[in-house]
Structure 1
């Protein structure tokens, strides 16, 4: 019998470990409600696994989609999400050896190794990621490495993530003590990438302060309960500069420096097209390394002559979200099926994302904020 599709949550680890006889292990991403592009895949081409609100193993007729998983070989490959259990890790400490991650990644992989799976929001409405679970005798906590990308074409006011069971209109939210929940002991974060906002001295993976803010992070505050994670307003200077969370289609352009000649590492943003339509440098070369400077207006030819490369500042639409899901006793789940050949059963749960749109009047009033330069650039290119 096909595993039921679900939206999911997991109970706090401390609660689960003291109250269950059995627990569960996440075995795989259930793609019954997903269309995955067939391989073979070509390097440096982006593919999309499209997520629907119903089982589409028999076709997509009548199904709706609000999101997709993007993956680009060789960094990641299809279907775009994988589950890792009991990954060995070096040294000692409290590293979590289980994770939900981009295909090809490792829970303990190094910085910039492409661990985060990329969930693109393409429209308002629920996006349901379903995971299959096998019953065992050990509570498991999974770190979720996720990048949420606004690809709606409009601004977003935030997001909600819920744990539960089922798809679409049949979704049932998880309840307290049912063996499924967010791990409250680990907390949650929702930040825009560090390369744009942050003090390098506070992060062991960075030695260069943020491009737009060299002193503090920017992102969404979060409210976390056993079965829901919700955003609670922006913090940092993001909203002051750009308004509510902008979409990929609205991001400004920038000039980037490939300072190390290594295609496996990110090029460094040196200048951007600001809201006044001017090219503004915020970093300069200091030998072979970049260094922050006070905002300085330059010409585009200056940037071209320096050997910098034109691109879009995609991370302004990208939100890095970190949280943990714990799997306890699955025997009461709506999707539970008793095992036939063994004493252990199986089940599935759903991780549901819902995007919060900006109210129309606010969206219209803020449309040009921080984006005047982008519009000027497009007019200039088409002239």
Structure 2
């Protein structure tokens, strides 16, 4: 779906869109009760190098409390297997995408609905599992992962986002939810991580609110029908005067790449991004009442890499494992200026799997042991200051012999953290209403590639060079 964008009288339109508070009839409100998985099937684990699950100390959960979605096995001995699992989602079981998660503090089916958060009372759609910070006084690793079911108000960096990925370009991924009538219209925060696993470059994506019929046909909701994207306070956006993400507070309407890659320090991040220490890489968003569409990827990303990278074409990185636990976040210290092969790198290939030069965007690659279990990592200098510094052969040899230095894909380049809010109500007007106070709605997300606006990655001659199968500008028509 291609929507016309008007830059005329933007300031006036924004004021109307943001300033109009929702009004509603209390008898016509609805509450999300569950993720409807009737059109969802279990996919195979994505880690298949060892067919036997590996139990380890970092995946502790209470004995018997979790069932493996792929095998049906119940966790025993207090541990759950490592590895990724996924549910395939989409109308009629087309494998357009999936819900994915790693079995640590997130558990199957990867998504949960929270109504009336036990601290703040808010509602959200978030990952399933438990809060890893709910046992802050634990002394043993086996007690660390927590006991409290995840809530909207859990701390920052506690794996709150459900992970959706798209497998095909211009193919939609659908999440359908069951709802029931309540006394008030409800606001839901949507905590999502969205990944490009299409095998193609992507210039943008569209998210729509609407309904699926019995044959899997999707219809976008009408304005005023009871499904609305909104601000945190419930102010609904307008389809006729959509609001850009630049006019919303951070956390209300965003599509952000990981701060560890791009961005200046802020209240959550004491260090700056590796590739650029000043500018955050984002997709701009334009939000209407029933849809949110992207307006383009940040130039800071496009100047380095072109359009959005898919997960199977990742850039290579060399990471420093600061705490000796490979599952936790590691510091990106160097990157491969060339084609990178992660499997070859982990197998000990020459030059750590990079067919070009290893470089760093930091001041240096010398980490300092502070003697208290922490390390001081040199700050980034970024492309706005100077070109990256090549890493010498002696340093690469030392890294290859040190288990704390790990080559791997910079997989966060294929993901964005998406923040949005929505209201749910007035189910009497929904085509899915069953007449007994129950109905369903669908959130649909569709990635696209538009060659007319695409910017090539430096080193390629044409934007089309990085697209595998698309040969013409493409739009989405639901």
Asked if Structure 1 and Structure 2 have the same fold, meaning a TM-score greater than 0.5 normalized by the shorter chain, the answer is yes
State the SS of the aligned residue for 2:203: strand
- 1: distance between equivalents of 2:122 and 2:460? 43
Indicate yes or no: 2:190 matched with 1:118.
no
Greater relative CO (CA pairs within 8 A, separation 6+): 1
Q: Which of these residues, 52, 61, 64, is aligned with residue 90 of structure 2?
A: 52
Contact between 1:157 and 1:245, CA under 8 Å: does it hold in 2?
Answer: yes
Alignment deviations for residues 340-364 of structure 1 (CA, whole Å, 9 cap, x no partner): xxxxx1111000001112439969x
Q: Which of these residues, 296, 299, 307, is aligned with residue 389 of structure 2?
A: 296
Residue equivalent to 1:137: 183
- 1: distance between equivalents of 2:24 and 2:255? 29
Alignment of 1:183-194 (within 5 A): 183-184=230-231, 185=235, 187-194=252-259
Q: Which of these residues, 273, 279, 282, is aligned with residue 336 of structure 2?
A: 273
User: How far did 1:368 drift?
Assistant: 5.6
- 1: distance between equivalents of 2:458 and 2:121? 41
Indicate yes or no: 2:320 matched with 1:257.
yes
Contact between 1:155 and 1:358, CA under 8 Å: does it hold in 2?
Answer: no
Distance 1:282 1:338, change over 3 A: same
Alignment deviations for residues 296-317 of structure 1 (CA, whole Å, 9 cap, x no partner): 2113324335641111100001
User: How far did 1:280 drift?
Assistant: 1.1
Contact between 1:50 and 1:67, CA under 8 Å: does it hold in 2?
Answer: yes
Q: Which of these residues, 23, 31, 34, is aligned with residue 29 of structure 2?
A: 23
Alignment deviations for residues 260-285 of structure 1 (CA, whole Å, 9 cap, x no partner): 33456311111111248211123442
Question: What TM-score do the two structures reach when normalised by structure 1?
Answer: 0.81
Distance 1:356 1:319, change over 3 A: same
- 2: distance between equivalents of 1:161 and 1:280? 37
Aligned length: 339
Query: Which stretch of the first structure deviates more once superposed, 153-162 or 41-50?
Result: 41-50
User: How far did 1:330 drift?
Assistant: 1.4
Question: What TM-score do the two structures reach when normalised by structure 2?
Answer: 0.66
Unaligned runs of 5+ in 1: 1-10, 55-62, 90-94, 340-344, 371-383
Alignment of 1:166-205 (within 5 A): 166=212, 170-184=217-231, 185=235, 187-200=252-265, 202=266, 204-205=267-268
Residue equivalent to 1:72: 102
Indicate yes or no: 2:306 matched with 1:246.
no
What's the RMSD between the two structures over aligned residues?
A: 2.7
- 1: distance between equivalents of 2:18 and 2:453? 39
Distance 1:366 1:280, change over 3 A: closer
Residue equivalent to 1:33: 39
